[in-house]
């Protein structure tokens, strides 16, 4: 006997049933007959078999709450993964209107770079995976630091047979074809690059230091990257507020016309928030209850530009990196943070990277970032998205408000499911 999984999300549309299980990370499009099976009635055996396979039906005796707890404990307490968010410089060649950074520190010093190498070398024998995220400032200003450390990371990963993944959050202005090829050879093939609209609008939001346009340079680098045969992924990010809301739809179409149907490019839309910058009071942030983002994703998908939403409905896919005990931000001066937003918040100063590569951590400051979340939050325990966010979508929000930080995906999941599952084959029913 089977019962419906507590972690299955559902939407009915046009006679089809869209199902996604956040515990298994699997889902698909089902015929209407699947609904009866989910309610405990008989149905086509081939449909039932797939429902069981993907985790939408579980044995009647299954304790899914216990399963969720075990999954959280294992996933959030790994000792064989190291994730470093490296700030090779905290300077930037842009001055974006919503930026919160102070640009006080320059290029990561040689002693700090050596400490990073020592940390990785010491931990490598016990690791299965090494994840590096390049952040700034604008990380590509410190190109030589990125190359130097990337060469070391790839060498260590090969020596210890580690799974190695690298990502860069960059404004794209310095990502020339030559650099992209060099980075790809060093394992860096994953980028997030922001364009806030067509040139006339983007250039108002994301100006050069000292003033000046930036759109054309970014666009030229993106199209040059597209022309290469490199294996890479770029999330094209739009920071959305009330000021660019009216032109966002047309700009998504423009992005789709250029980059649609190239699987290396994805669309990522994020609402502008008051992140702590000097212009926070002037920002025209969106009203939270009515999100236009799902509609923009749907439009992008219609243009062949896939939305960057897959992880949001899979185990740990919506967990913030700051909630992971094996993830640290390494500042250019060697300070250790957990969050890349509240950089100068005292609570975010959790330690320092010592010259020998050891982590000198302030446990009292570290602990609030790593609280039990869904292990103790009964609201999280009853939520179908629990495996995806584990109650840890944003530890900073929980620290600031004392409330659970639900991801936007929870509110909008019915709009997202058809987009998420569009490429998955519908199970057939034998007549």
Q: Quick check: 241 and 286 in contact, CB under 8 A?
A: yes
pLDDT in tens, the chain (431 residues): 999 999 999 999 999 999 999 999 999 999 999 999 999 999 999 999 999 999 999 999 999 999 999 999 999 889 999 999 999 999 999 999 999 999 999 999 999 999 999 999 999 999 999 999 999 999 999 999 999 999 999 999 999 999 999 999 999 999 999 999 999 999 999 999 999 999 999 999 999 999 999 999 999 999 999 999 999 999 999 999 999 999 999 999 999 999 999 999 999 999 999 999 999 999 999 986 668 999 999 999 999 999 999 999 999 999 999 999 999 999 999 999 999 999 999 999 999 999 999 999 999 999 999 999 999 999 999 999 999 999 999 999 999 999 999 998 899 999 999 999 986 655 554 43
- pLDDT at residue 270 in the model: 94
Residue 1 CA to residue 21 CA, distance in Å, equals 19
SS3 of residue 379 by DSSP? helix
**Over the Cα atoms of the chain, what is R_g?**
22
Q: Quick check: 234 and 262 in contact, CB under 8 A?
A: no
- pLDDT at residue 430 in the model: 43
- pLDDT at residue 289 in the model: 61
- pLDDT at residue 291 in the model: 84
Kindly report the pTM of this predicted structure.
Answer: 0.95
Strand 57-59 to 2-4 pairing: antiparallel
Which parts of 127-207 fold into alpha helices (H)? 143-160, 177-185, 199-205
- pLDDT at residue 431 in the model: 34
| Category of 34 on φ-ψ map: left (φ > 0), alpha (ψ -120 to 50) or beta | alpha
- pLDDT at residue 398 in the model: 94
């Amino acid at each position: 006997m089977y019962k419906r999984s507590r972690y299955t999300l559902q939407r009915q549309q046009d006679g089809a049933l869209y199902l996604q299980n956040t515990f298994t990370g699997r889902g698909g499009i089902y015929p209407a007959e699947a609904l009866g099976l989910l309610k405990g009635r008989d149905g086509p055996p081939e449909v039932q078999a797939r429902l069981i396979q993907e985790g939408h039906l579980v044995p009647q005796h299954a304790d899914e709450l216990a399963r969720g707890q075990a999954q959280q404990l294992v996933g959030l307490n790994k000792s064989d993964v190291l994730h470093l968010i490296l700030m090779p410089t905290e300077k930037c060649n842009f001055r974006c209107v919503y930026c919160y950074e102070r640009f006080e520190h320059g290029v990561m010093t040689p002693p700090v770079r050596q400490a990073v190498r020592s940390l990785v070398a010491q931990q490598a024998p016990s690791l299965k995976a090494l994840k590096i995220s390049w952040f700034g400032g604008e990380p590509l200003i410190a190109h030589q630091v990125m190359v130097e450390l990337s060469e070391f990371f790839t060498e260590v990963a090969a020596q210890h047979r580690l799974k190695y993944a690298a990502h860069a959050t960059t404004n794209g202005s310095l990502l020339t074809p030559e650099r992209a090829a060099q980075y790809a050879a060093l394992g860096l093939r994953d980028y997030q690059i922001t364009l806030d609209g067509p040139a006339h609008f983007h250039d108002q939001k994301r100006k050069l230091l000292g003033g000046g346009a930036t759109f054309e340079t970014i666009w030229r680098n993106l199209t040059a990257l597209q022309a290469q045969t490199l294996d890479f992924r770029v999330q094209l990010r739009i920071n959305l507020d009330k000021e660019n809301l009216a032109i966002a739809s047309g700009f998504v179409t423009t992005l789709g016309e250029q980059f649609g149907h190239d699987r290396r490019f994805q669309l990522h839309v994020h609402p502008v928030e008051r992140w702590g910058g000097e212009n926070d009071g002037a920002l025209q942030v969106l009203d939270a209850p009515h999100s236009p983002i799902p509609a923009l994703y749907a439009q992008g998908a219609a243009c062949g530009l896939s939305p960057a939403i897959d992880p949001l409905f899979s185990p740990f896919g919506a967990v913030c990196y700051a909630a992971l005990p094996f993830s640290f931000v390494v500042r250019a001066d060697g300070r250790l943070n957990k969050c890349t937003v509240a950089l100068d918040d005292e609570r975010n100063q959790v330690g320092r990277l010592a010259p020998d590569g050891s982590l000198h951590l302030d446990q009292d400051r570290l602990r609030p970032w790593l609280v039990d979340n869904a292990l103790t939050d009964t609201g999280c325990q009853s939520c179908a998205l629990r495996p995806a966010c584990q109650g840890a979508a944003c530890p900073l929000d929980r620290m600031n408000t004392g409330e659970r930080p639900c991801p936007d995906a929870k509110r909008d999941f019915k709009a997202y499911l058809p987009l998420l599952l569009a490429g998955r084959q519908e199970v057939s029913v034998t007549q």
